[in-house]
Structures are given as C-alpha cells and as structure tokens.
Amino acid sequence: MAANPNMIGGGRLTRAEVSGDKRRFEGTKVNRAALLRRLWRYLGKNRLLLILAVILSVSSSLLSLYGPKLSGEAINAIHVEEVLEDGTILSSVGRVDFDTVFRCIGLMAIFYVCAAALTFLLNVVMIRLSRRVSKQMRHDVFENLTRLPVGYFDRFQTGDIISTITYDVDTVNQSLSTDLLQILQSVITVVVSFIMMLTIAPQLVLIFLFTIPITIFFTRWLTKRVRPLFRRRSAKLGQLNGFVEEMLSGQKTVRAYGREDAVLEAFDEKNDAAVQAYTVAEANGTITGPSVNCINNVSLALVCMFGSLLFMQGKVGLGDLSSFVQYSRKFSGPINEVANIIAELQSAFAAAERVFTLIDAEPEKEDLPDATVLENVKGEVKLEHVDFSYIPGKPIIEDLSLMAKPGSLTAIVGPTGAGKTTIINLLMRFYDVDQGAVYVDGNDIRMVTRSSLRKSYTMVLQDTWLVHGTIYENIAYGKPGATMEEVVAAAKAARIHNYISRLPEGYNTVLTDNGTAISKGQKQLLTIARAMLLDAHMLILDEATSNVDTRTEQQIQAAMRQLMKNKTCFVIAHRLSTIESADHILVLDGGKVVEQGTHETLIAQGGFYHKLYQAQFDSVS
C-alpha cells in the first residue's frame, strides 16, 4: 500500500480536508512559556554539561566585563598639573603613575586571556551538549513515528515528515545550544554593566530610562509580527521537501509520460512559495537588529554629550567617563544582540511547534488492559456485519460478512476503489471497524494484542520494500537469526535462488537504495521469499504477484499452495486467472459484497464476477 496524502483506500479526501491536515502538521499556536519549558527539559537531561556551560559562561562574562573598569583606572593614573602665574595657565605638566598603569594593563591581559580560554571551553561543552540534545530530540520524534497509526502516513507527505526530523530539529537545536546561552551571557553583561555604570555616574544612567522602553516596545511589536512568518516559512519548506521526495521516487513515471516540464513548473511554484516565505520572514526578522542598533547609537550620543558636560563641571573623571562609555556599549550591545537573536528564536519556535506536533501526534491506541495474546493460531477468520469509513459520512465498507476457514485461500476481487485493500487494513488492525467485528479463532481482534495479531500474519504488498543490506538480511528481515539453509529454502520456493546464485556475492550481495539495481519482479520475489520464511499461520498477498510474468506467477502460486498448507491465505489480485483455484472468492463493488463463491459457481451465475473475468479475457484476446 503506497501512502498517498490525497487518497486513502477507496475514499478520496477533499481539498479542505487535506488542507486541514496540513495545517495541523504545520504546528499550532502554543504558549511561548510552555514551549520554552518543554525545550528546556531537553537541556535539563544533561544537567552536568548545562551547569558547566553556565559556570563557564558566567566566568567568561565577568572576566571580560572587568576590563573597562581597569582601563578607566589606567587613564585616571595620568595626572595633569597646571603651572599658574597670576591666574594664568602658563603650561601643563603630565605625571603618570606607571605602577598603576602597568598593573591595570597586566590584569586586563590576564582577564582577557582567561576569558578567551573559558569561551573556548564553553564552545567545546556546547558542541557536546548540542549533539546530545539533537540526538535525543530525533530519537523522540522517530520513536513516536514508529507508534503512529498507518492512517497518519496516509495523510502526510513523507518528505514533509523528513523535513521535520532534519531541518526543524537542527533549527531548534541550534537555538538551544547557542541562542539561549547567548541570551544568558547578554543578561549577565547587561546587569553587571548597569551596576558598574551606577557606581561611576548615576546621572548618565537616566538616559537609558528613555531608550530602553522604546527598544522593548519595538521588539515586542515586531516579535508578534514576525513569528507567524517563520511558522509559514517552515511549512512551505516542508511542502517543498515533500514534493521533491515524491517526484524523485517517481522519476521513471515522470519521464515515461513526458511530464518533465510540468514537474519543473510545479517545482518552480513551490520553490517560489518557499523562497518568498523565507524572504518575507528574514526581511521582517532582520529589521530588529538595525533598528535597535540605531536606538543604541542615539543613547551613546546622549551619553557622550551629557558626559562631557559632567566632565567639564568636574563631576566625573576622564577615566571614569571612558569606562562609562565602554560599559554603555556593553550594556546596549547585548540588547542589540538579543534583538537579532529574537528573529532566530522565531524560526526556532516555529520549528519547535512542528517538531512537537509530530512528537505529540496521537499514537496508535494501546491494547486493552485485559487484551489476550493470540497463541496456537489455527487461522479461522470471520468478519461479521462490518462497516468502515476513513472519513465520517463517507463509507468504504458496508455490512461486510466473511468466513475464512483454516487453511483456505480467500481471494478478494473487484474494481479499483471497491475496498479490497481496506479489508486487509481491517484484518491487520491498521484501522478499527466502525460497526461489526473481526474475529480470529473466535477472538474479537479488538480484545487481543496488536503485536500477537500481526505476528500471526505474513504480508506481501504490491509495493516492494527492501532495506539497505545483503540479500540474506532482506529475506531474513522478519526472522532475525534465520539460518542460511532456511533462507536458501525460502528463496528456492520463491523461484529466486537461481538468480541469487548467479550474483558475484550470492546471498551476501548488498542491496542499496531499495534495490534499484534489480528488477521489480526480482524485488517482488525477494519479498515473497521473506514471507515464506516466516512461520505465520495466515498470509496476506496484496497484489503480490503484479510485478512478475505469468509463468513465474504460476510457479509461485504452485509453490505457495504447497508451502502454505494448513494456513489461511488472503489474496488480492487484478488478474482473475491467478485465483481460479481459490477456495472462496469475495467479489466487492462499492464497498459491498455483491457475490461470493468459487470460480466455477460465480462464472455459472453470469453476474458481476463473470463480467470482470470476461472483460479481462477479452482484453487479453
């Protein structure tokens, strides 16, 4: 079953429904404080590194912040004495306290070198902390992905989900590892600088009572404006990645139908939308830094102007004024940096919303507390008055009843959209029925554990799936630890052993990129061999032989009938000639069972099945 975001089984989603699902995946508006607390938990799991990072950050900031104070003392160590005669200044004589100057310079050199060393250690610690946070967050996302119901992947594009695991997690991690720590350093710098300025010239600090409120109000206004733009940027990038993944996986079809230009045009549209969203978000986000910097420059100009007046009045020394100016720059600098960080935080918040939307996606419902484990399965399957719909009000299956005895072969046929694959979804409990019940050996499958139910089946799908690894590992995928003899026996039964033997490395041949180097028929035979290796009591073949030629298909059918003795089999097939020997044929149309019986009885009835069979026979002729 190929996951299609716009089609689930036999029911087509409306544009509004698809858009609604996409909006939910893009991330919902959440309380920013709650979002920060949740992000902080990831840092809290690495307390030792976090505490060490805070200590290094505080120490580095304090050491570097004492430099302006020392430079002011060095300037004040220069004394100017005026020679007067009758009240007239004849000359000025400078006297320098070199002991004080050299002491201040030496301490400044020591403090700045130590601050640089601590900053280097801080970067090392943050790299390690960043790596752990990123690893944990990706683990949480992927862990929940493995628990999500199949229906979730029917609604969302694979590329969009991959974008969240890669780009969005990286964006959040970058913010956690650098931006939040930089904000901490900025807070320390602002607080210490403010205290130092108060000790030097309290009068000049009044200037910031005018400029800081302007900065705060402007930043808050711009934040509200920018955050939705970054949320939209993440969503558009996810949609672009989803489209690219979809088109790359279907390159052969695109080229076969000559749709290269149409695909390129569609890509350009999505690319333009992503670029436009990126440009608008970044353009609005980058307004913050220059605007705040302009306000800070105004405050610096006011400090210089009023500081000069105080110096001329003898209320502040030249060295103290120099220190105040440096502290004012350190005071306003972090405010400017934080303003720039805010734009990055908006991107991080938007990405975090998408990540947590994926982490919080409702997993498959847990088994009931008193759920039983299926053991010693005989293979009796019964569907009793089953109703099912993917979308409320749009039924796919209506009043379906079916009895499959142990060891029987039940074929499910019907036109596209009749509900054939939906029945398989219900048998495997990928979805639960709306009405009625499904039984295995008399047990309602809602009352048994999903794990034991699914292990009772072996499933081969139309869409082959191979993992990166050797042919042996692919065949033994469902039975870890299988012996080479067992794998070879399964391959022989699936009529693929001779092909494998001709390969240079035989069963140790490595398959890459979902086995693109081998034909679809060979891939299908490998998945069938994988199914044959399992000791399950029930088998599901969903168009499993659609990619092999008729002769090979007949050989496989004969081999499977031999190997699947005393096992219940469900087969979905378009080529009706392949299920003529089925014990029971279920004919579906519009989600309803219109006919049931053996091939001979259904042909004799001359009904819907006869028309389907005759239509295929005529098309072959």
Residue 472 near residue 497 (C-beta atoms within 8 A): no
- 603: in domain: no
Q: Is the pLDDT of residue 29 over 50?
A: no
Edge-first strand listing for the sheet containing 568-572: 457-460, 538-542, 568-572, 409-413, 584-589, 592-597
- Here the CATH number for the domain that contains residue 518 is 3.40.50.300
User: Residue 148: exposed, middle, or buried by beta-carbon count in 10 A (0-12, 13-18, 19+)?
Assistant: middle
pLDDT at 28: 44
CA distances for 62 relative to 181, 196, 322, angstroms: 15, 12, 19
- Please give the residue range of the domain that contains residue 333: 7-359
Share of the chain above pLDDT 90, in %: 3
User: Residue 106: exposed, middle, or buried by beta-carbon count in 10 A (0-12, 13-18, 19+)?
Assistant: exposed
Nearest CA to 407 out of 541, 565, 571 is that of 565
b/e for 494-515, b at 16 or more Cβ within 10 A?
bbbbebbeeeeeebebebeeeb
pLDDT at 5: 35
Stronger pLDDT, 27 or 276, i.e. the higher one: 276
DSSP H helical ranges for 250-287: 251-256, 260-285
| Structural element, H or E, at residue 80 | strand 78-85
pLDDT at 579: 79
| Gap between the Cα atoms of 148 and 495, Å rounded | 35
What are the E-state strand segments in 435-487?
435-440, 443-444, 457-460, 469-470
Q: Is the pLDDT of residue 444 over 90?
A: yes
| Gap between the Cα atoms of 383 and 150, Å rounded | 21
Residue 413 near residue 582 (C-beta atoms within 8 A): no
Summarize the confidence of residues 217-225 as an average pLDDT.
Answer: 74
Residue 176 near residue 37 (C-beta atoms within 8 A): no
- 483: in domain: yes
Residue 551 near residue 578 (C-beta atoms within 8 A): no
pLDDT band at 182 (very low <50, low <70, confident <90, very high): confident
Highest averaged pLDDT of the listed ranges 85-99, 339-353, 407-421? 407-421
- 230: in domain: yes
pLDDT at 339: 62
**Residue appearing with tokens 């610690």:** 125
**Which of 535, 560, 584 is at the close of a domain?**
535
Q: Is the pLDDT of residue 619 over 60?
A: no
Share of the chain above pLDDT 70, in %: 79
| Gap between the Cα atoms of 564 and 589, Å rounded | 29
**Residue appearing with tokens 């000069």:** 308
In this structure, the strands spanning 469-470 and 409-413 are unpaired
pLDDT at 8: 36
Q: 471 and 353 in one domain?
A: no
Tens digit of each residue's pLDDT (9 = 90 or more) over 471-525:
888 888 888 788 898 889 888 887 788 888 888 888 988 887 655 567 777 787 8
pLDDT band at 438 (very low <50, low <70, confident <90, very high): very high
Q: 351 and 469 in one domain?
A: no
Q: 481 and 353 in one domain?
A: no
Tens digit of each residue's pLDDT (9 = 90 or more) over 110-140:
988 998 898 889 888 888 888 888 888 888 8
Summarize the confidence of residues 245-249 as an average pLDDT.
Answer: 70
Stronger pLDDT, 572 or 234, i.e. the higher one: 572
In this structure, the strands spanning 457-460 and 469-470 are unpaired
Type of residue numbered 456: S
Residue 267 near residue 259 (C-beta atoms within 8 A): no
Highest averaged pLDDT of the listed ranges 344-348, 424-428, 565-569? 424-428
| Gap between the Cα atoms of 330 and 307, Å rounded | 17
Structure-token pair, residue 130: 């960043």
- 279: in domain: yes
Task: Classify residue 604 by its DSSP letter.
Answer: H
| Gap between the Cα atoms of 400 and 385, Å rounded | 5
Tens digit of each residue's pLDDT (9 = 90 or more) over 566-592:
788 888 877 777 678 788 888 888 767
- 231: in domain: yes
pLDDT band at 250 (very low <50, low <70, confident <90, very high): low
Looking at every residue in the chain, the average pLDDT score rounds to: 77
Summarize the confidence of residues 428-442 as an average pLDDT.
Answer: 90
Helix (H, G, I), strand (E, B) or coil at 94: strand
Summarize the confidence of residues 238-250 as an average pLDDT.
Answer: 74
| Gap between the Cα atoms of 31 and 16, Å rounded | 27
- 278: in domain: yes
b/e for 538-569, b at 16 or more Cβ within 10 A?
bbbbbbbbbbbeeebbeebbebbeeebeebbb
Tens digit of each residue's pLDDT (9 = 90 or more) over 290-329:
777 677 677 777 777 777 777 676 667 666 677 777 777 7
- 551: in domain: no
- 615: in domain: no
Stronger pLDDT, 191 or 83, i.e. the higher one: 191
Type of residue numbered 77: A
**Which of 359, 386, 421 is at the close of a domain?**
359
Q: 116 and 264 in one domain?
A: yes
Q: Is the pLDDT of residue 436 over 90?
A: yes
Stronger pLDDT, 544 or 228, i.e. the higher one: 228
**Which of 359, 385, 403 is at the close of a domain?**
359
Q: What is the 3-state secondary structure (H, E, C) of 533-599?
A: HCCCCEEEEECCCCCCCHHHHHHHHHHHHHHCCCCEEEEECCCHHHHCCCCEEEEEECCEEEEEECH
Structural domains of the chain, count: 2
Q: 327 and 203 in one domain?
A: yes
The overall pTM is greater than 0.75: no
| Gap between the Cα atoms of 349 and 355, Å rounded | 10
Q: Is the pLDDT of residue 265 over 90?
A: no
Q: What is the 3-state secondary structure (H, E, C) of 200-237?
A: HCHHHHCCHHHHHHHHHHHHHHHHHHHHHHHHHHHHHH
Q: Is the pLDDT of residue 25 over 70?
A: no
- Here the CATH number for the domain that contains residue 344 is 1.20.1560.10
